[in-house]
């Protein structure tokens, strides 16, 4: 009967070691090679030797609009060299509509949130919009989520802080709104240890 308590102790220790190592392990950003809205090829090499903020989501989300606007403002005032990359679950046509006039839904969103332009690369994961008709009614299917699935997020936006080696330091689901003037900047610098 003495064997059972020892076996239980060993099992508990093994489980604790497994769980602690899985929570402490830093994951690398998933492999990808995509073209940004401007036609530039972007892959994991983009992260090399640069701290990077990755904003993932889709343009139809108000929280994503706030995130894009806030990170654009951050990029205008940042002097530390942090780069930003937006990865959208949208098509290139959606980006054209976003930058187009406000007669389209996405263009109207851009106008409402007062986003003139974004000065960081924008990658679209979808080549074409997935649509189908059911009983004569157009139904838009789920957004492309290749990288989101690999990162294990369904939240839009999801903000990732990626280090100079392509390791994900932090995954923040949703967008935080700060009351103080430099709240976002302070949060970024604190988490990047700048």
Residues 60-117 have pLDDT tens digits of 899 999 999 999 999 998 889 999 999 998 889 999 999 988 888 899 989 999 998 8
The whole-angstrom separation of Cα 59 and Cα 165 is 29
The whole-angstrom separation of Cα 38 and Cα 80 is 24
Residue 157: asked if its preceding bond is cis (omega within 30°), the reply is: yes
Mean pLDDT calculated for residue range 146-168? 90
Q: Which residues contact 139 (CB under 8 A, 6 or more apart)?
A: 131, 132, 133
pLDDT score at 23: 44
pLDDT score at 148: 81
Rounded to 10 degrees, the C-alpha dihedral 117/121/126/129 comes to 10
- Does the pLDDT value for residue 143 go beyond 90? no
Ordered by where they begin, the domains of the chain are 28-192 (3.40.30.10)
Could you give the C-alpha distances from 18 to 7, 11, 12, 25, 66, in angstroms and in order? 16, 11, 10, 11, 38
The whole-angstrom separation of Cα 33 and Cα 47 is 12
- Does the pLDDT value for residue 147 go beyond 90? no
């Amino acid at each position: 009967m003495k064997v059972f308590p020892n076996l239980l102790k060993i099992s508990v220790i093994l489980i604790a070691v497994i769980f602690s190592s899985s929570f402490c392990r830093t994951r690398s950003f998933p492999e990808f090679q995509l073209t940004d809205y401007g036609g530039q090829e972007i892959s994991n090499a983009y992260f090399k030797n640069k701290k990077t903020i990755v904003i993932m989501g889709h343009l139809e989300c108000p929280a994503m609009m706030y995130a894009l606007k806030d990170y654009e403002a951050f990029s205008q005032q940042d002097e530390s060299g942090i780069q930003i990359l937006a990865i959208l679950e949208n098509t290139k046509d959606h980006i054209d509509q976003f930058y187009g006039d406000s007669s389209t839904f996405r263009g109207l969103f851009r106008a409402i949130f007062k986003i003139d332009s974004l000065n960081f690369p924008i990658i679209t994961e979808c080549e074409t919009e997935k649509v189908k008709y059911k009983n004569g009614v157009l139904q838009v299917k789920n957004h492309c989520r290749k990288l989101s699935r690999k990162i294990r997020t369904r939240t839009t936006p999801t903000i990732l802080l990626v280090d100079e080696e392509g390791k994900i330091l932090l995954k923040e689901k949703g967008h935080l709104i700060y009351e103080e003037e430099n709240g976002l900047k302070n949060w970024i610098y604190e988490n990047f240890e700048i």
